[in-house]
Chains A and B, each alone.
Chain A
């Protein structure tokens, strides 16, 4: 009994940390509708700053407290700079572009932090005055845990007062519930957005600063926390403060007791909670259904003009260049070209969903990874040859998409994105921890091409041929009635249903088709690398795919291809040249988002405007 009480308190302390990081993310999303990937980076920054301030003047309770508060304020300032110099320019850009921009910020902050503080983990001293533990029912409980819990309640109460009793708070709430209304009230939205973002950033910084008496500060803090924070926000309901609180408590208590009962399940548990919540209550525990549905897309696409003269020449020349390139370039370039062909297919399959169906997925790596594992496991467990193993790849990708997609296509917008992410992370956890079947973290080795295709040039032609054929197939699908119907469900699900289209089923089919295509890419990826590891399913692979699509340009069928070419080249060359490649890549992404909101394929429009 006493154990249960103490474990519940322990869970509450974790909940407090989780709440403090998630609530800022939720507020920022509620007001600006920006999914801020860099929220975790602001949290990490808060922790590093607090560490330095504590080292300078944190040797008393109040000094330590001041150090943490100062860190939060500085991070709020960083947030102000980020909002006014970057986000403000892109509120009108498509949502995914905002996501991409914040991901650029993640890369930049990661490298800057390493430059400033170095790579070593930093462990701050305990907080003076709260450096011991007190006895509760015979168990020692750290005093700081209780302090942290009270801070969470103070922040919750403070936010409640702010949102009920100040003009700013009322406007924030109004904006969260109905953006148009605030615009109609004649409020300066820029001021409101900046204010909300600074509040969110300050809370992130505070959340990070408050962690330093509990954990070491390290460079993995940003990505480690951001996915958990998303989960809390989504489970609680986007924009809901009390929702973030309840979700944080729910998840932390489940983890605290889950550790005792199923010590192995911890990694999956949090995503299971999210998946179950979204399936049962699609807008989260305290969320409202999202208003921005596919019906009021901000930038309707122009009609698709197929296969007209010059666009046809572009595709043919791509094919010719692809076929001729190995004759002119070196061995390693052929290997890079193989990777480009594979990633172009991955990006094209993602683009098919994002653009074709308006289906925002953050978990497309799942189907790429399932394809890779489908082939890898076929080789490893069934001793299949390359050709049959490659056939397993689209089957595995499609099977995963069929299963996960059934749940995902019932949601829309950011909730759908989060559910796709949850399933991808569940798949990743399974491959990571199911060692007997998947080889776990050590992966599956020895997935090399058959003898006839072992020459890199031969394998390139094989990969290029199949990937180009599948890309062509996806392109054809866009022009077929299937693709028109898919775009129809994106343009207006109401009208689609009114002309006899089963919108959910059609999205599900598209999801499965894209999953199969991504699976093909994954299968070739496995054979190109000779091995498969769980990181092919990890969120970073999904993000890479999004970067490629957005880099190339969403509104063009050529976009994902261009994006894959440029992204792979940049990554390969930058990582060769400099340790600071994340910094440069991040700056490049940010610059691109600001200058070229329609991606590389939108370059022509920009040049037209300049020259006219």
Chain B
């Protein structure tokens, strides 16, 4: 079943909440090194679909395969073991730890050492952590408490943490949400760098259409739980269905929401 190059394969995935079909039989795939954006109006089922993929929700039907492994209904921590890194719409970091400790702990977990009672975490994984922190440009803040970081830096930290298990797939829920417009570009440049340097594939949801069209190789559009369009940014821009759903044009500077 595993198709070479398919990092993520979703087939006829469905999820309903109390009779409301949030996702109704969606299929798509993400290839190695590919950046795929998942968009759609509010209530289209993006979040539900995303959470079915990352393990926070158990789908009613359909399958999710990561690197050829059927992971349907697996909890998030097991999905991670298949090489999936995640960032959240509202950042989730370990607030009582320093920037470096956040990354060190994730590295320890990747190493299967997160439940170890032996040696202190102390300086373990410090070198690797330093590299990742440097990669996202936070070297100067390595020993600072996470709570002291500005929001944009927290997003960067999340990315560093997400990269600790050398993932083949990054799941990014609104990677630029809550960031100032000028910071969004540099955040996404960083993501592009990960793709280029580490060969990771990215599936992300996003409201900012500049980000979507500037940084996605392929776009999947959801509406009422169904895929209504799929293609390159140019194809999507031209798609009448999509335009109808969004009640407007994607051209211009305004991000349609």
Decide if A and B touch, CB cutoff 8 A: yes
A480, B121: Cβ atoms closer than 8 Å = yes
Of B104-112, B233-241, B244-252, the segment with at least 4 beta carbons within 8 Å of chain A is: B104-112
- Residues of B155-177 whose CB lies within 8 A of A: 161-162, 164-165
Q: Are A479 and B121 interface neighbours, CB within 8 A?
A: yes
Bits for A461-494, please: 1 = Cβ < 8 Å to B, else 0.
0000000000000001101111111011011101
Q: Is B95 an interface residue (CB 8 A)?
A: yes
Whether A607 is near chain B, meaning CB under 8 Å from some CB there, is no
Chain A hits for B145, CB < 8 A = 302-303
Encode contact with A along B87-127: 1 for CB under 8 Å, 0 otherwise.
01000111111100100111011100111111111101000
Binds A, one of B4-12, B29-37, B74-82, B195-203: B74-82
Please name all residues of chain B whose beta carbon is closer than 8 Å to the beta carbon of A161 when the two chains form the complex: none
Residue of A nearest to B80 (CB): A500
* CB of A290 within 8 Å of the partner chain: no
Question: Given that A302-B145, A484-B101, A491-B96 are contacting pairs, would A501 and B109 also be in contact in the complex, using a CB cutoff of 8 Å?
Answer: yes
Residues in chain B near residue A70, CB distance under 8 A? none
> What A residues does B101 contact at CB under 8 A?
303, 484
Q: Which of A306, A477, A494 has the most CB of B within 10 A?
A: A494
> Are the C-beta atoms of A494 and B88 separated by less than 8 Å?
yes
Q: Which residues of A contact B85 (CB under 8 A)?
A: 498
In the complex the two chains form, what is the Cα distance from A496 to B110 in whole Å? Answer: 12
B255: CB under 8 A from chain A?
A: no
Cβ-closest chain A residue relative to B115: A482
Cα distance A482–B101 in the bound complex, in angstroms: 13
Chain A residues within 8 Å of B65, by CB? none
How many angstroms between the C-alpha atoms of A526 and B253 in the bound complex? 75
Q: Is A187 an interface residue (CB 8 A)?
A: no
Contact B96 A497 (CB under 8 A): no
Q: Which residues of A contact B98 (CB under 8 A)?
A: 303
Chain B residues in 8 Å Cβ range of A484: 97, 101, 104-105, 108, 114, 121
Q: Which of B77, B108, B117, B124 contacts A477 (CB 8 A)?
A: B117
Known A-B contacts A487-B96, A495-B161; the reply to A481 vs B105 at CB < 8 A is: yes
Q: Which B residues from 113 to 146 make CB contacts under 8 A with A?
A: 113-122, 124, 145
By a CB distance below 8 angstroms, the chain B residues around A485 are: 105, 108-109, 114-115
- Name the interface residues of A506-560: CB closer than 8 Å to any CB of B: 506, 509
Nearest CB in chain A: distance from B174 CB, A: 14
Taking the closest CB of chain A, its distance from the CB of B252, in whole angstroms, is: 34
**Docked-complex contact B109 and A480, CB < 8 angstroms:** no
Indicate with 1 or 0, residue by residue over A565-583, a CB within 8 angstroms of chain B CB atoms.
Answer: 0000000000000000000
Q: A495-B92, A500-B110 are in contact. Are A482 and B120 (CB under 8 A)?
A: no
In the complex the two chains form, what is the Cα distance from A303 to B106 in whole Å?
16
Question: Which of A303, A483, A501 gathers the greatest number of chain B CB atoms within 10 Å?
Answer: A303
**Could you count the A-B residue pairs with CB atoms below 8 Å apart for me: how many are there?**
120
Write the nearest CB–CB distance from A542 to chain B, whole angstroms: 25
- Chain B interface main SS type: loop
In the complex, A297 Cα to B113 Cα: how many Å?
27
Q: How long is the Cα–Cα vector from A500 to B161 in the complex, in angstroms?
A: 11
What is the bound-complex CA distance between A480 and B95, given in angstroms?
18
Rounded to whole Å, the gap between the CB of A428 and the closest CB of chain B is 31
Q: How far is the CB of A3 from chain B (nearest CB, A)?
A: 43
CB distance B122 to A482 under 8 Å? no
Knowing A301-B96, A484-B97, A492-B92, the reply to whether A499 touches B115 (Cβ < 8 A) is: no
The reply to whether A498 and B114 form a contact with Cβ atoms under 8 Å apart is no
Do A498 and B86 touch (CB < 8 A)? Answer: yes
Residues of chain B in range 48-72 having any CB-CB distance to chain A below 8 Å: 54-55
Which of B55, B80, B110, B115 touches A509 (beta carbons < 8 Å)? Answer: B115
A300: interface (CB < 8 Å): yes
Provide the bound-state CA to CA distance between A433 and B94, in Å: 46
Question: Residue on A with the closest CB to B104?
Answer: A484
In whole angstroms, what is the CA distance A303 to B147 when docked? 10
| Neighbouring A residues of B147 by C-beta, 8 Å | 300
Within the complex, the shortest CB–CB distance from A297 to chain B, in Å, comes to 8
In the assembled complex, the CB of B238 is this many whole angstroms from the nearest CB of chain A, namely 36
Question: A491 vs B105: C-alpha distance in the bound complex, in angstroms?
Answer: 13
A295 at the interface (CB under 8 A from B): yes
CA distance A495 to B103 in the complex (A): 12
CA gap between A302 and B164 in the complex, in Å: 24
- The answer to whether A503 has its CB under 8 Å from any CB of chain B is yes
Which residues of chain A come closer than 8 Å to B97, judged between CB atoms? 303-304, 484, 487-488, 491
| Pair A491/B116 contact, Cβ less than 8 Å | no
Question: A131 on the interface (CB 8 Å rule)?
Answer: no
Which residue of chain B is the closest to A509 with respect to CB atoms?
Answer: B115
Asked if A502 is at the interface of the complex by the 8 Å CB criterion, the answer is yes
Residue of A nearest to B82 (CB): A500
| Chain A residues whose C-beta falls within 8 Å of the C-beta of B92 in the assembled complex | 295, 492, 494-495, 498
- Asked if A499 contacts B105 (CB within 8 A), the reply is yes
The reply to whether A482 and B117 form a contact with Cβ atoms under 8 Å apart is: yes
Complex contact A500–B77 (CB within 8 A): yes
Find out whether the CB atom of A480 lies under 8 angstroms from the CB atom of B93: no
Are A481 and B121 also in contact (CB < 8 A) when A494-B92, A498-B92 are?
A: yes
B-side contacts of A492, CB under 8 Å: 92-95
**How distant is the Cα of A297 from the Cα of B95 in the complex, in angstroms?**
10
Contact partners of A509 in chain B: CB under 8 A: 115
Q: Which of A287-315 contact B (CB under 8 A)?
A: 295, 297, 300-304, 306
Q: Give A485 Cβ to nearest chain B Cβ, in Å.
A: 4
B76 touches which one: A297, A300, A498 (CB < 8 A)? A498
Q: In the complex the two chains form, is B76's CB within 8 Å of A497's CB?
A: yes
Measured between beta carbons, the chain B residues less than 8 angstroms from A487 are 94, 96-97
A496 partner residues in chain B, CB cutoff 8 A: 77
Give 29 A-B contacts (CB < 8 Å), ordered by A residue.
Answer: A300-B96, A304-B96, A476-B120, A479-B120, A479-B122, A480-B120, A480-B121, A481-B124, A482-B114, A482-B116, A482-B117, A484-B97, A484-B101, A484-B114, A484-B121, A487-B97, A488-B97, A488-B105, A491-B93, A494-B92, A495-B93, A497-B77, A498-B88, A499-B77, A499-B106, A500-B80, A500-B165, A502-B75, A503-B77
Q: Can you name 7 extra interface pairs (CB under 8 A) apart from A482-B114, A502-B77? A: A304-B97, A306-B122, A479-B122, A484-B121, A495-B161, A498-B77, A499-B114
